[in-house]
Amino acid sequence: MSERLDRITDRRRIAILPIRGVIGGAVRTDDLLRTLDAARRNPRIRAVLLEIDSPGGGATASEALHVAVKRVAAVKPVVAWIRGTGASGAYFLACGATRILSFPSAIVGSIGVISIRPIAVEALQRLGTRIAVTKTGKYKDLGAPWREVTDEDAAKERELVDAIFRRFVSTVRAARGLDDAAAARVTTGEVWLGVQAVDLKLVDGLSEHEDAALEVAQHLAGLPHRHALRLGPRRTLLQRLGVPGAGMGPPGERWVIELEGWLRVPRMRA
């Protein structure tokens, strides 16, 4: 009877925070940062489970989320569970967690940086359109679709991509304790299944369901009971049914970001 009463009156919680979709698309970065900060400051929350199904997103937003996750992990255990896809920026943020778990057939990795821009010079010429540009520096219109890429442009873009890549690799190496050879093996932009990611030291173990991931969080937090608290906005019926674009508002830039993000990593279909 006493044990039952303790269980009922125990107000300590493990927060479950879903991260589903592209960072900057379906995943609203500012909202997620606020939620992580609130979880860090809430004394009732003793551990956090990040439920990840994301192909990543923008470099700056992904690193900001990594820093936020790391701040939470500094005061309470954080378990990142990759249930579907944990690629690129999504894996970047997961590296801030205390422990990383994966579903056995989840897609993990894509540790790399990519810069993409369309070149519409020929299309504009066919339309008889010219673009007049007044700028203050030769790189001010870097990445503009109305002109061809010069050698200097390519060199500058490569410099930026390599700088971001070095930050990403440094984070992964520190979080996963990888030496030079191990880091070189996993920073090729490839993706692996969760079972392979264990051998590559990208994840700490496998978890086939949420309860198993919660059990790890409970153990790390030293809790006698496993009371969960779901954070983030309540999912609509259309979101629960998996309708594309549900909860993202009217079609716009975020829709484009979402589509582009998912196109960059494989999606398994049975």
Class of domain 2-111+189-263: alpha beta
pLDDT at 186 over 80: yes
How many CA within 13 A on the CB side of residue 86? 27
Widest Cα–Cα separation across the chain: 83
pLDDT at 128: 86
User: pLDDT category, 249, cuts 50, 70, 90?
Assistant: low
Rounded to the nearest integer, the mean pLDDT of the chain is: 87
pLDDT at 206 over 80: yes
pLDDT at 21: 87
Beta bridge partners of 51: 18, 81
Q: What's the rounded mean pLDDT across residues 23-51?
A: 93
Sorted by sequence, the CB contacts under 8 Å of residue 233 that are 6+ apart come out as 31, 247
Closest CA to 212 of 79, 106, 86: 79
Per mean pLDDT, which range of 124-133, 134-143, 214-223, 243-252 is the poorest? 243-252
pLDDT at 245: 58
Structure tokens at 157: 């873009």
pLDDT at 7 over 70: no
User: pLDDT category, 268, cuts 50, 70, 90?
Assistant: low
Sorted by sequence, the CB contacts under 8 Å of residue 54 that are 6+ apart come out as 19, 20, 21, 22, 23, 27, 85, 86, 87, 89, 90, 261
- From CA 49, how far away is CA 47, in angstroms rounded? 7
Domain ranges of the chain: 2-111+189-263, 114-178
- Per residue in 59-115, pLDDT (tens digit) is 999 999 999 999 999 999 999 999 999 999 999 999 999 999 999 999 999 999 988
pLDDT at 111: 94
pLDDT at 241: 56
pLDDT at 108: 96
pLDDT at 172 over 70: yes
pLDDT at 38: 95
Neighbours of 268 (CB within 10 A): 10
- Entry pTM: 0.85
Sorted by sequence, the CB contacts under 8 Å of residue 254 that are 6+ apart come out as 24, 25, 26, 248
